[in-house]
Amino acid sequence: EIVLTQSPGTLSLSPGERATLSCRASQSLSRNYLAWYRQKPGQAPRLLIYGASSRATGIPDRFSGSGSGTDFTLIISRLEPEDFAVYYCQQYGSSYTFGQGTKLEI
Amino acid sequence: EVQLWESGGNLVQPGGSLRLSCAASGFIFSSYVMTWVRQTPGKGLEWISSISGSGGDTYYADSAKGRFTMSRDNSKNTVYLQMFSLRAEDTAVYYCAKGPQFDGFSFWGQGTVVTVSS
């Protein structure tokens, strides 16, 4: 099973600032099948990024994903109030596993 | 607009059974793999099962093998998760999701709560 480790566990920032979230895989991901999701309290996760760097439909360009192999990054360039939530990475190249999440708090 | 609506969650005793349903709309249902994912405070998000568009192929996490059965009815645009021999550790919010395709799990339902307790 591929284990995904996200860091940091909690990130404290202010609106307008830049957020950098990391996701490390225990082994190299095939085809860079790495996705990022945002989950607001009481809601389902929402797909932000797939294939490590492609934005999902309707996702603003302040969200960007990068990385390959075992190291991946999600950057939110200018935080909006609705961005304060929990973010999960997920690999879908070898079965499906999720990271433990990064909480982005004000 | 893609919509997924789960139902069937409930309080059930250990050893009991439950069937979850997920009704879909807004896309060509039979063309897509569908998936169940659950979420608990302790274990986070956990993939449970996926089913091919035709329903001919199903895949299960080790935690679900032998106890859970995923199926679909393409005439009703609905997927199901039949759960048997439920345990306390099956207590979770259960989500159905569209995919995976090349774009991961592209859309999720709002979830349904399963509580296993005496």
Mutate to test the interface with A, among B45, B107, B108 (most CBs of A within 10 A): B45
Are A37 and A47 a contacting pair, CB within 8 Å? yes
- Per CB-CB distance under 8 Å, the chain A contacts of B95 are 44-45
Name the E strands within A9-101.
10-12, 19-25, 34-39, 46-50, 54-55, 63-68, 71-76, 86-91, 97-98
Q: Read off the pLDDT of residues B13-26 as tens digits, 9 standing for 90 and up.
A: 999 999 999 999 99
CB-CB under 8 Å, A88 with B45: yes
Whether B98 shows a pLDDT value over 90: the answer reads yes
The pLDDT of residue B41 is 82
- Give me the residue from B100, B102, B108 closest to A45, CB to CB: B108
Q: Read off the pLDDT of residues A17-28 as tens digits, 9 standing for 90 and up.
A: 999 999 999 999
The pLDDT of residue A76 is 97
The pLDDT of residue B101 is 85
Q: Read off the pLDDT of residues B41-56 as tens digits, 9 standing for 90 and up.
A: 888 999 999 999 999 9
pLDDT band, residue A30 (cuts 50/70/90): confident
Give the residue-averaged pLDDT of B56-67. Answer: 96
Are B70 and B58 a contacting pair, CB within 8 Å? yes
The pLDDT of residue B29 is 97
The pLDDT of residue A19 is 98
Mark out chain A residues that contact chain B at CB-CB < 8 A: 33, 35, 37, 43-47, 50-51, 54, 56, 88, 90, 92, 95-101
The pLDDT of residue B43 is 84
Whether B28 shows a pLDDT value over 90: the answer reads yes
Q: Read off the pLDDT of residues A47-92 as tens digits, 9 standing for 90 and up.
A: 999 999 999 999 999 999 999 999 999 999 999 999 999 999 999 9
Report the alpha-carbon distance of residue B40 to residue B46 in Å, rounded. 8
3-state secondary structure of A23: strand
